[in-house]
Amino acid sequence: MSIKALDKRLFRISLRNRIAIHYTVATSLLIGLIFCGILFLVDRAVSSHNDNALMYEMTEEISNLKLKGRDFNDLAHANKFDDDDENYKEKKIRQMNFDIDLEFIQLVDNQGRVLRKSENLSSKTLICKTGNSDPVYFNGMVDGSMLRHLQVPLVNPDGVTKGYLIVAHSLVNALAFLEELQFIFLFSFPVIILILFVVTRFIAGESIKPIDDVIKTAEKITKTNLNQRIPLPLNQDELHRLSLTINALLDRLQDAFLREQQFTADASHELNTPLSVVKGTLEVLIRKPREIEHYEARVQFCLIELNRMKRIIDKLLVLALYEGNKISPNIEEILLPQLIDDVVARMQAAAVAKDISIRVEGAEKERVNADHAMLEMIFENLLSNAIKYSPASSAIKIAIEHNESVITCCIADQGIGIPEKNIPKIFDRFYRVDESRNSQTGGVGVGLSIVKKLADLQQITLAVQSTPNIGTKFMLTFLSA
């Protein structure tokens, strides 16, 4: 099996099993370390116990030697270590092998030659390490059995080492105990791991059960029932946050889907209306011969409708371009009053046609950071709306104010105004406060959508205040350059 195929199989493992595997592996390592630590500590404890027992026996023997007043030569020619020690006599009488836990004693000279030894050694000989001037512990095999040795040098009053006293005892029982403990650990380890995996898998399954509920609910939600929401868990945990996040996402999807449906319907209506008018006009026009003036008037009417269609399509393309984030703003320092004057000059003809005056007030040297083309489009759309919805012989005021680190530009008209309940919706594409407004003014219905999108792209704050039959104010807030 290739590594790629193995990776695919691993990725297909369920979340419950992955959690169980990860937890089991981590816990197995921890349990393994604990078992190793226990074996190490027990081994150290057994070794310490053996060494203490040997030291105790060695202390007793040396104490007996001192009490009896024997020097090394006496010991070398004695028949036994201590004829008066009843405990020692018992050891001497009993012929022991190395599979017991009693001590073995041996006396050697400084060349390592055995002078005397305990009778339980029989023909066996303990290991001697000559040349050591300090007591030393070591392990050694004697006749196939492992013994723990303690060797102490015997020094005369002149400080010369005359020989060594060696005490040893068998490690058979200690090693058997450690091997048995190791076997228990090795046998119980896989059993513990298996039980741990089963228990962990069950707990993981119960833990992710709410996720399964979320998945099942989400699978039932389609574009036809976007109003359905995932029930929130009682516990204020990560699953609760996940459910809240998914519900918020569904809210946004539902809103976007509804707006898309509305946009499709509105765009179809906006484009279908002039097409129907043009089609009807031309059909009537060709039914019978007419005066040339009549033909010219009807063709002029059709051109007006076609131009309206072109404006709709152009603005939809602009809106789609910016909403798709295909163009990033080219931020630069702009002299705001100069830009406004240029836009006003271009819109002056439309204002004069309705006898509307446009006044620009405020500082003349205020600079802002923005995209020049985008900012021009914002002011063109806002001024165009102000002119369309203002009565004849009224005034439009553009005021620039500098407050600390921000610059505010307010465009106020004296038009028909917008009801307060409709203000949040005016930036939606093709939204109309009422059906008659756009038909009377020739509006397309996407200008304010473009304004809002361009303002957001440049991080310009856009606010609206309006009172029906009094007028509307659009306020743009910039960070000063």
At 35, the pLDDT band (50, 70, 90 cuts) reads: very high
For residues 298-302, average pLDDT: 86
368-380 burial, b for 16+ CB within 10 Å, e for fewer? bbbbeebbbbbbb
**All CATH 1.10.287 domain ranges in the chain, comma separated:** 238-320
3-20 burial, b for 16+ CB within 10 Å, e for fewer? eeeeeeeeeeeeebeebb
Is the model more confident about 223 or about 287? 287
Closest-CA residue to 174 (of 148, 154, 194, 137): 148
* The pLDDT value given to residue 118: 80
Q: Residue 96 pLDDT > 50, yes or no?
A: no
* The pLDDT value given to residue 85: 46
96, 120 in Cβ contact below 8 A?
yes
At 82, the pLDDT band (50, 70, 90 cuts) reads: very low
Q: Residue 6 pLDDT > 60, yes or no?
A: no
* The pLDDT value given to residue 412: 94
107, 75 in Cβ contact below 8 A?
yes
The encoded tokens of residue 235 equal: 């516990």
Q: Residue 43 pLDDT > 80, yes or no?
A: yes
Report the CATH fold assignment for 70-173.
Beta-Lactamase (3.30.450)
**All CATH 3.30.565.10 domain ranges in the chain, comma separated:** 331-479
* The pLDDT value given to residue 269: 66
User: pLDDT of 130-147, one tens digit each?
Assistant: 878 788 899 888 888 888
Please state, in angstroms and rounded to a whole number, the distance separating the CA atoms of residues 265 and 428: 13
Strand order in the sheet with 161-170: 114-117, 103-109, 161-170, 145-155, 136-142
At 90, the pLDDT band (50, 70, 90 cuts) reads: very low
Residue 311 buriedness (CB in 10 A; 0-12 / 13-18 / 19+): middle
Task: Enumerate long-range contacts of 254-258, CB under 8 Å, 24 or more apart.
Answer: 254/226, 254/227, 257/223, 257/226
Residue 395 buriedness (CB in 10 A; 0-12 / 13-18 / 19+): middle
**What does CATH list as the number for 331-479?**
3.30.565.10
At 229, the pLDDT band (50, 70, 90 cuts) reads: confident
For residues 85-108, average pLDDT: 53
3-state secondary structure of 80: coil
User: pLDDT of 285-296, one tens digit each?
Assistant: 888 888 888 888
For residues 342-368, average pLDDT: 89
For residues 334-350, average pLDDT: 91
**All CATH 3.30.450 domain ranges in the chain, comma separated:** 70-173
Closest-CA residue to 437 (of 417, 451, 410): 417
* The pLDDT value given to residue 251: 87
**For the chain, percent helix, then strand, then coil, each to nearest 5?**
55, 20, 25
* The pLDDT value given to residue 97: 38
Q: What percent of the chain has pLDDT over 90?
A: 19
* The pLDDT value given to residue 77: 44
Quote the mean pLDDT of the chain: 80
Q: Residue 394 pLDDT > 60, yes or no?
A: yes
At 173, the pLDDT band (50, 70, 90 cuts) reads: confident
3-state secondary structure of 173: helix
* The pLDDT value given to residue 42: 92
User: pLDDT of 357-390, one tens digit each?
Assistant: 999 998 778 899 999 988 998 998 899 889 988 9
* The pLDDT value given to residue 256: 78
391, 448 in Cβ contact below 8 A?
no
Neighbours of 361 (CB within 10 A): 11
For residues 316-332, average pLDDT: 73
For residue 223, CA distances in Å to 120, 251, 253, 260, 262 come to 94, 12, 9, 12, 15
472, 464 in Cβ contact below 8 A?
yes
User: pLDDT of 256-283, one tens digit each?
Assistant: 787 777 667 766 766 777 788 788 888 8
* The pLDDT value given to residue 101: 47
Please state, in angstroms and rounded to a whole number, the distance separating the CA atoms of residues 308 and 15: 57
At 4, the pLDDT band (50, 70, 90 cuts) reads: low
At 33, the pLDDT band (50, 70, 90 cuts) reads: very high
* The pLDDT value given to residue 236: 79
For residues 80-91, average pLDDT: 43
User: pLDDT of 403-456, one tens digit each?
Assistant: 888 999 999 999 888 888 888 888 877 676 655 454 455 555 677 888 888 898
For residues 174-197, average pLDDT: 90
Is the model more confident about 201 or about 322? 201
Closest-CA residue to 409 (of 351, 338, 327, 322): 338
* The pLDDT value given to residue 335: 93
Which residues on adjacent β-strands are paired with residue 138? Answer: 149
191, 125 in Cβ contact below 8 A?
no
The encoded tokens of residue 419 equal: 């009801």
* The pLDDT value given to residue 400: 92
For residue 287, CA distances in Å to 280, 282, 283, 284, 338 come to 11, 9, 7, 5, 55
At 183, the pLDDT band (50, 70, 90 cuts) reads: very high
**What does CATH list as the number for 238-320?**
1.10.287
Please state, in angstroms and rounded to a whole number, the distance separating the CA atoms of residues 470 and 459: 29
Q: Residue 78 pLDDT > 60, yes or no?
A: no
